[in-house]
Every structure is written in structure tokens, then in C-alpha cells.
Structure 1
Amino acid sequence: MMRNAIRSILRLAAATSLVGALAAPLAAQATPERPKWVPGEVIVKFKEGVGPAQIQQFHSAYNLKTLRRYKLVAAEHLKLPKGWTVERALATLGNLGIIDSISPNYYRYIDAIPNDSQFDQLWGMHNTGQTGGTPDVDIDAPEAWDITTGDANVVVAVIDSGMQLDHPDLAGNLYVNPGEIPGNGIDDDGNGYVDDVHGWDFVANDNDPGPAGGGCGGHGTHTAGTIGAVGNDGLGVAGVNWNVQIMPLRAFKPILVIFCGGDDAALMASVEYHTMMGVRVSSNSWGGTGYNGAMEALIRASKSVFVAAAGNDGRNNDSTPQYPASYDVDGIIAVAANDHNGALASFSNYGASVDVSAPGVGILSTLPTDSWGAFDGTSMATPHVAGIAALLLSVDPNLTVNEMKWDILNGIDAGGLPVLTGGRANAYKALQNALTAPEVAASVTSLSGSTVSPGGSVTYSASVTNTGTVTRTTKVKLYARLADGTEVSLLGPATITLAPGETQSVTQTKTVPAGLAPQDVEVVAQAESDVSFDESTIVYTIVP
């Protein structure tokens, strides 16, 4: 996330006309406290098996209004009856037997410090010491670009404050919905959103995800540029991907003029939208300390690479979690920020629950009104890593979420940093991982049909093979993944030793639980050695 917006206004009031206009009155008054949540609203997740009749009875008994019903998980955004406080709702509704989790509709925040066309200033992409830093403390973008500069078929969702859609350095990589006819007022693709040609605004609930003003300060336009500013066009900057589609999903708005906040309901709707549209990578430069079980479940159900900012409080996330970065979801990559010398940025959060670091100090990128500027923050580090994930998909669109995460976290530059990997993200090394055949390969094959009814059975065979010339100790597991992202262990995890050329296999027959709802269920075989990671997947369709 980007750092304190007030300090940015006071220190660099001339950065934009809007900031300049705000600086004088703000300097003369005390800074207001940021609101923690939206008054009169909560988000609930129902327990498994709770039916529509029970939910309707719950609504009626407490005079609750449904503002949004989520599809990926059994959760609702609710308006409380008049006179109810959020605290009362948590105490009263949270004890009901049908409720799995309840939380306020928390605000998450993004904050900015502006720093000061111009690839030679992009030290995070290619560090020659041009900003006084240490040469080669970067993501090795030029080396990665010798392999790929991206693919226009890859889409990255940017859940943020919106972006300037016609920015000269971004317009060429703006997402276009192929199923929608612009401006006809019809929901052509039947996804529930009319004329969503370039994404969606979940604040105004319309099809214009343009940039928010006020305290949002061009945040979304800036993060989008790091992922996918058009490359090799003789203009401005280059993103990690020269070719990509950026899907702007606006969930943030000015709060009390000087802050930029997004509520959990809008953020969850954004995740659900990009999941529905088949987007497998998202950039999330925002967060807060409030836990929301429904949001965690929804991110898990998205089955996507969800790159999240570690936060800018200079604290250990292991002791004070920062959400969504700290949710226990396999697909989340939590990102800290480092400076041009490779040191952890003074403001960056850290800890074993933070996965990796990326450039986050003095990062030049796109800004509204056809401009460019530099910002600090884990907000700036996050899109570097989201951009790397997109590069991986450009060379292998069949990579699984776990494979992409492994490639990134095992393709770092060592730096002795206080994060899980100890190092900094490196695009070139991640790509090399993705392009190298796994030394220990996993395979799973169905020995029965691909459709099955509850109470029926499926049979499959799974194996792991050491394709190399060295004996490998390998962690293996076999699991089923339900539509909501929940994993059910079928075998392991276990550690085995494989001699060169050796294969170990197992055949299982499993009965489908009688109460399992119709859905697609994946069976996944996974093998992780010290030098490679591989997954193989088959899909069974559960029919009534």
C-alpha cells in the first residue's frame, strides 16, 4: 500500500492541481481519524448446508436487507435495521447457529507519498545505479524481456481506485470484454453487468472504472502502469508486461476528502467479478487489520494468484496481521517493499507471513491527466509481482496457481530480508523456473468417467516420476479441490525418496459424498522437490 496521504499533500503540494488545492486547508486543521467500517452494514457467511428458507427466516426475524448476495461463497452484504449498531449486530447475529462468520463492512485503505519519460529512471526494472542505488538490485526485467514481453491474451485485474482509461501509456493495454457490444445498453454476455467493456466501477455501480479523485491521488493508474504500461512505444515508461490486458476494477473512493478507502463489500464484488470473467491474476495494493472470514473464503474460491500488499506500518505481520495479505489462502502472495539498495523499505511491513519483496521506493509510473510520477509503498511493490505472474502465463497459460507461486518464490534474488523467502522477486529467474521441465513430474489419470452423481464412485491413478539423474527427496500429496477452493486430502502430504528414473504410483477409488452439491471437483497430484514443483489435475463433474 502507498504511504500516508497527508504527508504527501504537505510535502509535495505542487504534485497535482488537486493536491495543491487541498494542501492549505489541510495544514490548518487536525487530521481526522479514518473510519474503520461502514456504519449500519455487516457481511455474513452462512454455514454449509444452510438453505434459502433458513436465510429468508433470518432476514425476516431481524429485519435485514440484502445489499449483495455473493455467488462464489454463501455470503451476503447486509443492511442493518434502523437503530442497530455494528457492534450490536456482531454480538447478536454472530451467535446464531446458521452463521459461520460475521464481520463489519471494513474499510481498507491505500495511501500515497509522491516522490518526484523515462525508462532510465525505472530502477526497479533495471538498476544501473542511476538513482544512487546498488546496480542489479531490480527484477531483471530486460533479461526477462529477452524471453517474453507479455501476451495480450493475459488479463490482470487491478482492484484499486480506477485508472485513466485513455492514458497514452495505458490505453493500448486496456482490457476489452469480447462478449460485450459497447454502448448498446444491453448485457450482451449475460454476466449481470451492462456494457462492462473495460471492467467495472463497484463504487458507483457503473461501467466507468475511471480514476477516483481526492485522497486516491491516481493510485490505481500508477499501479496499473507498473504492471502494463505499453512498452517500446517511445513514450513514458514500460510496464513489467509490454503486452497485457489491464482490467480496472474500481472499489476505492475518497473518504473525508483526504483518505482513499474501499469497503469489503465492494472489494469482494470485485474479486467475484474477475473470477467470473476467468481472470487468474489480480493486483491488490490495499489492506487493513480487520479480519473478514467471508472475504478470505471468497479469495480462496477465486482460485487465482492474488498478489497483496504487506502494508506500510513498519511492523511484523506475524504479530499484527494485515488483511488480505495475511489470509491463509494458498493463492495469496504477500509483498514487502525494498529500496534501490535492496534493503527493506523503512515503512514496509515484514515477517514470515510476508512472502517476498519487490521494488517499492521511488517507483515511477503512470498518473491521471496523461502524466507520470514516482510513489513509495508496498502498493508499488505489489504490481511488480503481479506483473511477473502475468509474464509466467504468457509463456505457459496452463500453469496452476500453485505452480506460478512456486516459480516466483523460488526465483528470487537472495537479500537477507525479513520475509519468508528472504529475498527479492526476479522476473527472469521466475520465467526460467516456468520454462524448465520439472525434475520430479506428477501425473493423475481418471480410470472412470468424468461425470458422477453423489453416492457414486470415481477411480483414478496418480504417480510421481524422477526424470533426472540425481536421487531426489520429494514432498507429495494428492487432494481434491471443491468449487469453493476447499481442499480435501486424499493422500499425504508425505516425503518420499525417488531414485533416477523411478516412478511411484497409487490407484484409489473414492465414493462421492451423498450430500455434495453439483459442481466441478478437481483431483490434484502434487510433487515438490528442492529443484522443481509440478501439479497434474483431472476434473470430475458432480451431477444431480
Structure 2
Amino acid sequence: MAKSTRGRVNAQGDGTSGLGMVVRFTPKARSEGVQQLEKGGFRVASSKDFRSAVAVPNDFDGADVQYFERFGIAIVRRDGERLKPMLQNAMQRKVISAARPERSYRALGGPQTMRLDLAQVGGVATSLDRDYLLGYRDAVNELVDRLLGKKGAEGLVARAAFDETSNTWGLQAIRAIEGDLSGAGIKVAVLDTGFDETHQDFVGRSVTKKLFATRSSEGDVHGHGTHCIGTACGPLRPTSGPRYGIAHEAEIYAGKVLGDDGFGTDRSVIAGMEWALDEGCHVISMSLGAATQFGDAPSDDYEQIGQVCLDAGTLVVAAAGNESSRPQQIAPVGSPANASTILGVGAVDRPFVPASFSCGGLNPGQEVDIAAPGVDIFSSLPDDKYDRWDGTSMATPHVAGVAALIAQSDPKFRGWALWARLIQLTKPLSSPARDVGKGLLQARGSGEV
């Protein structure tokens, strides 16, 4: 993530990478800003022009600029050198409040290594089963906690053992299986790598899809999006295996903002967020991000976008990032989760300790707000498949699913009120707030879920 560009212009975003410049207009001068770009010879296409389209054209249908009217943000993809003096003039006249190079974002989760081969252990070649290693690790962790008198969620020693015959450990940990709410009537947008709506577990579900990723197929080739949607909105009774989904009657909105390679840009992400808002989605889930560095400021663009969404009654949740290598190194929360108007989600493992990869709130005001299961998460994959994946990407849809249940329980829980209710229901954890925010996500209490 680039350093903050408040009060200065760097028009180098229009390079060989194909990325452009993200321009944020002053609220009262948006129309003037667009007119200035048009007078400067830039062809401007409004995102409204593509609302009825199945996909947003990769080249803005030949335009130089895509303007997101609801957010007051434009992305300029051509003629960086010609744009620079125009931006400087517009900032002096307070028509534009900021400009920065466009960034790329990636999916923040992936499949586990199913077996660990050790060439020599005590001089004997061996192959250790994954489940054996997980059980051994969890047993040691629990023993250490008991010896130290360490308390975990709900004031008890952290429990590592979960029977997943009927329900995944993640659903058990957040108590999503203890009530009758289903997410019915709630619209959940998952902005990701797409969705395989033909999966056997989603036949007959309400699904709306739209493509925003550049040079990408319409389906979920990557699998990340289908896995995340499975956790947030998967079925009550899957065709096979344990229950893995939370809001099993929610309406699914699958915006493909990340391409077949798992990468996207500001253009695709912001376009997906505006689409979800226009569609009236109550929750937007984004298991994606860009790494940040110590000392980086949060993106003012996503601060503004998150605020617009909250004001409209839409909660945005995003993955905190996977750049840490605990315990040696903890990386700061990535973008856009580091925006104060977007709920940042960290990942914990079965003993309820931060996952080794999960980022922490190291930069001032850029926090992990809540923690959820993000290790060894079983969910759906394209072509009627399933697998266990790790990542803050896997934690985020747990939060989105519970948010849908809370939103169903009472129409007053929208936007900021929904955020507050999620935080209110958390259970404290022994780890620092830097790593787990207010604590472990809980569904119990959201209308007695």
C-alpha cells in the first residue's frame, strides 16, 4: 500500500502495469471535477452507464475515466502526464481532495497442505497425517494453557476439540447452529473471484451475479469466491459432509471483482461495492486486500466509501490480511480493512489464538475489530467439490453470515447499528486486542440465534 497522498499528486499510476489514478472529488465540487476532466479531453463514463450490463467493460467501453457517482471517486486510466497538471490545478482550487496511484488487491485465503512429509525424524523416514499433526498441536496448546491457568473464550480454557460430524468447527465456535434464524430476506454481497451457482448445495437459491474483473471469465475458476460464499450463505443441510454455511436462506450477490488469478484493482473493487450498494445489499463481504507497511495511513477513499455504505444501512466487512509470520513477525492490517468505516476481521485457530498469518492493528487507528475462525475451514468449491482452506478470507464470511442473521432478527440492525451489535455479542479472548479486536464472533444473542 502506498503512503498517504494527502495534499500532493503523484501521477505515475498510468504506467506499464495498466493501472491508473484514483481521484477523489471534494463533496461539493464533484460535478465541477467531472466537467474539468471532460474539458481536458478525457472521456468520462459513469458507473451508472453499466448498471444494466452483465459485466463492466474492461476498457470502460473506450472511456478514459470511470466515475463512481455515489462515492465521488473517479479512476483515470490514460494520459498520466496530461493528467498531472490538471490534478494539481484542481487540488489548488479544492475541486479534488486527493489522488493516488491505483492499487491491486488479492484473495486472502487458500487450500491447506494436506500432508506434511518429513524426510528424517530421528533418522527414520516418515510421513505424518495432517489430522494427526493438528490434534497433537492442539493437545499441547491446551495442556500449556491449563498449566499456565490461561483463560479463553467464555472464561474457560480454550477448547481444541470439535466433532465435525454434523457442523464445522467454525460454526460451533461462533454458536451459529444454536438458533432458528436463516438470513431470509437479507441480501449478502460477496465481492471475490466469482461463484459457481451450479454447485449441488446451492440449487434453487436466489443468486445475482455480475462481472467486474478485467480480462476474466464469468465463472469462479479460482474457487476462493465459492468457498467464501459457502461459509457466509451455505446450506442448512449440504449434500455431503458437515454443515458449513451460516445464513442459509440469505439472497446471494456474487460480484466477481478478482480475476481468475485471484487479483483485482481499485476499479473492480470499487465498482463491485457500488453495485452491491445499488442492489440494496445489507452486508458486503470482501475477503481481499493489499498489504500495508508500518507508518502507512489508511486510504481516505475507502474511509469515504465505507461511510457512504454505513449511512445507507450497509455494513462492509473485510479481511485483515495474511502477511504475518507469527510469532516472529506481525504485519499491520491491510487495505481496505484498515479503514475505520470497514469492519476488519482477524483469524483465529481452534484453540482461539491468532492464526500465524493473521495481521494485527499495529498502525494507529487501523485495527482488527473482531476475530473469527480462519484455519482449517471446510466449505464449498466449484464443480460440487469441498476443501479446507486457511486465511483471514475464511474468517471474514463467518462475520458476514452472522451479520445477516442479526440483520434478519430486527430491521433496526443496519449499518452502524449492525456493526455495534456484532461487537456487543463478541466473547473476550486472552490475546491482545491488537490481534483479535473486541473478541471472538458470536451469533448467540442475535435474536436468540
The answer to whether TM tops 0.5 is: yes
Aligned to 2:9: none
- Residues 400 and 137 of structure 1: CA distance in aligned 2, closer, same or farther (over 3 Å): same
- Which whole-Å deviations, capped at 9, do the CAs of 1:114-140 have from their partners, x for residues lacking one? 124xxxx9x9xxx871479xxx98554
- Residues 412 and 261 of structure 1: CA distance in aligned 2, closer, same or farther (over 3 Å): same
- Alpha carbons 1:112, 1:375 under 8 Å: kept: yes
- Alpha carbons 1:155, 1:245 under 8 Å: kept: yes
Aligned to 2:197: 165
Q: Which has the higher helix share?
A: 2
- Alpha carbons 2:25, 2:33 under 8 Å: kept: no
- Which whole-Å deviations, capped at 9, do the CAs of 1:270-295 have from their partners, x for residues lacking one? 11111111111011101114654333
Aligned to 1:362: 376
Aligned to 1:114: 111
Task: Compute the displacement of 1:141 (Å).
Answer: 6.8
Give secondary structure in 2 for the equivalent of 1:103: strand
Aligned to 2:288: 286
- Alpha carbons 1:416, 1:422 under 8 Å: kept: no
- Residues 131 and 337 of structure 1: CA distance in aligned 2, closer, same or farther (over 3 Å): farther
Aligned to 1:102: 99
- Alpha carbons 2:202, 2:234 under 8 Å: kept: yes
Q: Which moved more, 1:348-357 or 1:50-59?
A: 50-59
CA distance in 1, matches of 2:15, 2:399: 28
CA distance in 2, matches of 1:230, 1:36: 45
CA distance in 2, matches of 1:93, 1:262: 30
CA distance in 2, matches of 1:363, 1:346: 15
Task: Compute the displacement of 1:95 (Å).
Answer: 4.5
Q: Determine if the alignment matches structure 1 residue 322 to structure 2 residue 334.
A: yes
TM-score when normalising by structure 1: 0.58
- Residues 53 and 426 of structure 1: CA distance in aligned 2, closer, same or farther (over 3 Å): closer
Q: Determine if the alignment matches structure 1 residue 428 to structure 2 residue 444.
A: yes
- Alpha carbons 1:107, 1:263 under 8 Å: kept: yes
Aligned to 2:25: 46
Q: Determine if the alignment matches structure 1 residue 218 to structure 2 residue 223.
A: yes
CA distance in 1, matches of 2:355, 2:321: 11
CA distance in 2, matches of 1:166, 1:106: 32
- Which whole-Å deviations, capped at 9, do the CAs of 1:228-280 have from their partners, x for residues lacking one? 111124434430122212110000114xxxx5211111111111111111111
Correspondence 1:65-464 to 2 at 5 A: 66-81=64-79, 84=81, 92=88, 95-97=91-93, 98-115=95-112, 116=114, 129-130=161-162, 138=170, 140=172, 144-175=176-207, 198-203=208-213, 209-211=218-220, 213=221, 217-236=222-241, 237-254=243-260, 259-289=261-291, 292-303=299-310, 304-314=314-324, 320-329=332-341, 332-351=342-361, 353-419=367-433, 421-432=437-448
Give secondary structure in 2 for the equivalent of 1:169: helix
- Residues 322 and 142 of structure 1: CA distance in aligned 2, closer, same or farther (over 3 Å): closer
- Residues 174 and 51 of structure 1: CA distance in aligned 2, closer, same or farther (over 3 Å): closer
Task: Compute the displacement of 1:357 (Å).
Answer: 0.9
Q: Which has the larger radius of gyration?
A: 1
CA distance in 2, matches of 1:310, 1:84: 34
CA distance in 2, matches of 1:36, 1:146: 53
CA distance in 2, matches of 1:253, 1:284: 14
- Alpha carbons 1:152, 1:173 under 8 Å: kept: no
Letter matched to residue 323 of structure 2: D
- Alpha carbons 2:246, 2:401 under 8 Å: kept: yes
Letter matched to residue 71 of structure 2: V
- Residues 405 and 68 of structure 1: CA distance in aligned 2, closer, same or farther (over 3 Å): same
- Which whole-Å deviations, capped at 9, do the CAs of 1:382-414 have from their partners, x for residues lacking one? 000111000112221332322222222121222
Q: Which has the higher strand share?
A: 1
CA distance in 2, matches of 1:337, 1:37: 35
- Which whole-Å deviations, capped at 9, do the CAs of 1:484-503 have from their partners, x for residues lacking one? xxxxxxxxxxxxxxxxxxxx
CA distance in 2, matches of 1:282, 1:36: 31
Letter matched to residue 301 of structure 1: V
CA distance in 2, matches of 1:353, 1:314: 15
- Residues 419 and 233 of structure 1: CA distance in aligned 2, closer, same or farther (over 3 Å): same
Letter matched to residue 425 of structure 1: L
Give secondary structure in 1 for the equivalent of 2:103: strand
The unaligned stretches of length 5 or more in structure 2 are 1-13, 44-62, 115-133, 139-158, 293-297
**Higher RCO, Cα 8 Å, sep 6+:** 2
- Alpha carbons 1:159, 1:267 under 8 Å: kept: yes
CA distance in 2, matches of 1:319, 1:229: 31
- Which whole-Å deviations, capped at 9, do the CAs of 1:5-25 have from their partners, x for residues lacking one? xxxxxxxxxxxxxxxxxxxxx
- Which whole-Å deviations, capped at 9, do the CAs of 1:189-230 have from their partners, x for residues lacking one? xxxxxxxxx221112699x8521x3xxx31000000001111
Between the two proteins, the alignment pairs up a number of residues equal to 354
- Residues 94 and 260 of structure 1: CA distance in aligned 2, closer, same or farther (over 3 Å): farther
CA distance in 1, matches of 2:330, 2:86: 25
Q: Which moved more, 1:55-64 or 1:297-306?
A: 55-64
Give secondary structure in 2 for the equivalent of 1:345: coil
RMSD: 3.6
- Residues 389 and 242 of structure 1: CA distance in aligned 2, closer, same or farther (over 3 Å): same
Q: Which moved more, 1:358-367 or 1:308-317?
A: 308-317
Task: Compute the displacement of 1:422 (Å).
Answer: 4.5
- Which whole-Å deviations, capped at 9, do the CAs of 1:291-312 have from their partners, x for residues lacking one? 5433331221112211110101
- Which whole-Å deviations, capped at 9, do the CAs of 1:358-392 have from their partners, x for residues lacking one? 10011010011110001100000000011100011
- Residues 398 and 355 of structure 1: CA distance in aligned 2, closer, same or farther (over 3 Å): same
Letter matched to residue 129 of structure 1: A
